[in-house]
Amino acid sequence: MKSLENSYLTLPSLFYSYVKPATFPQVKLLAFHHLLAFELGWSDFLESTSEEIAAYLTGRPSITPLPTPPIALAYAGHQFGHFVEQLGDGRAMVLGTRKDRQGRARDLVLKGAGQTPFSRRGDGRCPLGPALREYVVSEAMHALKIPSTRALAVVLTGEKVLREVGTVPGAVITRVAFSHIRFGSFEYFAHRKDYVALKLLSDYCIERYYPELLQVSLPLRYLEFFKMVAKRTLSLVAKWMRVGFIHGVMNTDNMLVSGETIDFGPCAFMDEYKSGQVFSSIDQGGRYAYNNQGRIAIWNLACLASALIPLIDQEEKRAEWLLNEELSRCSLLFEEFWLKEMACKFGIFNPKTSDVLLVREFLALLEKHQVDFTLGFRGLMGGESAWGGPQYALFLEKWRERLQEQGRSLEEVFQLMNENNPRVIARNHVVEKCIALATAGDLSLFHRLSRVLADPYSYSCAYTLEEENEMFLKPPTSEDRVYKTFCGT
Ligand code: AMP
Ligand code: MG
């Protein structure tokens, strides 16, 4: 298992701290994503025993030592609108980077493997619940074709971790991502006025994530870099909206320059549609509500823009002007991405501006009649009309007219809708149930849920048990419903 590098080590040491993984009483491999290991071209893993994998993925390989020392990355961030100048990986460490089968460099990060110099008062540990939650939801996002960090493994540490609810089993999750550079990584150096480091960081990102920009002359390259990050970020959030995903903690330290979804603390998929839905127990003002996510993405991009000012132009005023120009385009860009994503749900191939009204009309009906977001859209495919009364019938008429206008076959329309309206999502009450059972030692639901969520668009009732259909497809009953989610760090 030696084939691991660490490209972050090419950066000066102020970007990170070396860390030593904790020693754990008794590690045990709980979940391992064989397909992802295969994708990473990691044949050593596929031939290893679960004991060897568990040891490696807690940072303490039993046979050969780690090829590179683990590091915790430094970053700052705006949390709920307030700047915190030093955050950093307090319970995560980069084990290394590795080229996957397609030659793309992927980061391997252990979360919960021990304290780091950035831990502050935290214990550097991760309870089993949040580890499983990240595993299930990040993999569900990936299967929904939404850029996301991935989950390679969950290892039980044998330790008990103390949290508000009492002591819970500790775990280490291995996260795989194209990047772990956050908007907050730029804010960290900008705040310290270390513009040399800021430039090095930008160059690292351009070379690794946006190599096509190397052809752009300097300093224009950095403005183009910002534009690329903005595009990916806004496109990502539009995709979240398509599946009713609420991230819950869109702080700038949780936004990656690669545009992958990261941090699955208080996140949730909506059941019944509510435009202002919030789940997170700590989001009391609704800052990260469902329908505010586009605006917040732009707010976060403004933080990134502000950090990049020194690189954009020697004249600060001109740099600000250039970045403001780009920021002012972001709302429209997001609207475009949003409309494209939403239009697909209605089988519309090339949306036009007036389609916004159609989409909004349907969403308003869902909200008025308290209809489940996922099932409401699937019902559209089945021509279901029971819930909406005459207004819904009117909507259906308009929608059908619109479909006729585009001159596509019904088959094509259905295919597009099928590819964009999942049948099954990681419903909160099921995820919670899965975590509760797993914490008590029963992993059966975790495995079943993972299997079902791996194929969310073509999940077929015909091949599954009646009881599974009941559990995975249906919205929660009033007793099952989860109203609040907790970071549970
Ligand atoms: P998060 O809310 O997960 O985005 O984390 C925000 C910050 O708190 C990051 O710097 C984390 O590394 C840190 N943090 C969260 N939980 C812990 C913990 N149990 N031990 C140490 N640091 C933590
Ligand atoms: Mg975080």
Write the secondary structure of 266-318 as one string of H (helix), E (strand) and C (coil): CCEECCECCCCCCCECCCCCCCCCHHHHHHHHHHHHHHHHHHHHHHHCCCHHH
Tokens describing residue 428: 């909160």
How many residues are recorded in the chain? Answer: 489
DSSP-assigned letter for residue 402: H
Give residue 116 CA to ligand 1 midpoint distance, Å: 11
Q: Which residues contact 217 (CB under 8 A, 6 or more apart)?
A: none
Helix, strand, or coil (residue 158): strand
Query: Could you say which ligand is closest to the alpha carbon of residue 90?
Result: 1
CA atoms 433, 438, 443, 447: torsion sign: positive
Give residue 489 CA to ligand 1 midpoint distance, Å: 7
Segment 185-220, tens digit of pLDDT: 999 999 999 999 999 999 999 999 999 999 999 999
Please answer whether residues 91 and 116 qualify as being in contact, where contact means their C-beta atoms are separated by less than 8 angstroms: yes
Segment 454-481, tens digit of pLDDT: 999 987 665 566 777 778 888 888 888 8
- Which residues on neighbouring strands pair with residue 172, listed in sequence order? 155
Residue-averaged pLDDT of the chain: 94
Whether the CB of 381 sits within 6 Å of ligand 1: no
Please answer whether residues 138 and 109 qualify as being in contact, where contact means their C-beta atoms are separated by less than 8 angstroms: no
Backbone angles phi, psi at 423, to 5 degrees: -80, -35
Q: Which residues contact 213 (CB under 8 A, 6 or more apart)?
A: 206, 221, 224, 225, 228
Q: What is the pLDDT along the chain (489 residues), one digit of tens a residue?
A: 557 899 999 999 999 999 999 999 999 999 999 999 999 998 888 889 999 999 999 999 877 778 889 999 999 999 999 999 999 999 999 999 999 999 999 999 999 999 999 999 999 999 999 999 999 999 999 999 999 999 999 999 999 999 988 999 999 999 999 999 999 999 999 999 999 999 999 999 999 999 999 999 999 999 999 999 999 999 999 999 999 999 999 999 999 999 999 999 999 999 999 999 999 999 989 999 999 999 999 999 999 999 999 999 999 999 999 999 999 999 999 999 999 999 999 999 999 999 999 999 999 999 999 999 999 999 998 876 678 889 999 999 999 999 999 999 999 999 999 999 999 999 999 999 999 999 999 999 999 999 999 999 987 665 566 777 778 888 888 888 877 877 666
- Which residues on neighbouring strands pair with residue 408, listed in sequence order? none
Q: Is 313 a catalytic residue?
A: no
Whether the CB of 252 sits within 6 Å of ligand 1: no
Cα angle 235-239-243, degrees, rounded to a multiple of 5: 170
Among the atoms of ligand 1, which is closest to the Cα of residue 87?
10
Mutate to test the pocket of ligand 1, among 119, 157, 175 (most ligand atoms within 8 A of CB): 119
Segment 107-142, tens digit of pLDDT: 999 999 999 999 999 999 999 999 999 999 999 999
Among the atoms of ligand 1, which is closest to the Cα of residue 125?
19
Ion ligand 2: residues, Cβ under 5 Å? 254, 263
Q: Give the integer Cα–Cα distance in Å for 38 and 58.
A: 20
Please answer whether residues 43 and 22 qualify as being in contact, where contact means their C-beta atoms are separated by less than 8 angstroms: no
Helix, strand, or coil (residue 76): coil
Compute how many other C-beta atoms are within 10 angstroms of the C-beta atom of residue 452. Answer: 22
Q: Give the integer Cα–Cα distance in Å for 381 and 365.
A: 16
H or E element that contains 17? strand 16-18
Q: Distance between alpha carbon 353 and the CA centroid of its chain, in Å?
A: 29
Q: Select which of 89, 107, 123, 253 is catalytic.
A: 253
Whether the CB of 89 sits within 6 Å of ligand 1: yes
CA R_g for the chain: 23
Query: Could you say which ligand is closest to the alpha carbon of residue 130?
Result: 1
SS3 content of the chain, % helix, strand, coil (to 5): 50, 15, 35
Mutate to test the pocket of ligand 1, among 82, 91, 263 (most ligand atoms within 8 A of CB): 91
Q: Give the integer Cα–Cα distance in Å for 441 and 437.
A: 6
Please answer whether residues 280 and 312 qualify as being in contact, where contact means their C-beta atoms are separated by less than 8 angstroms: no
Which amino acid is residue 375, in one-letter code? L
Helix, strand, or coil (residue 482): coil
CA atoms within 13 A on the CB side of 438: 31
Helices (H), 313-409: 316-345, 355-368, 373-381, 389-405
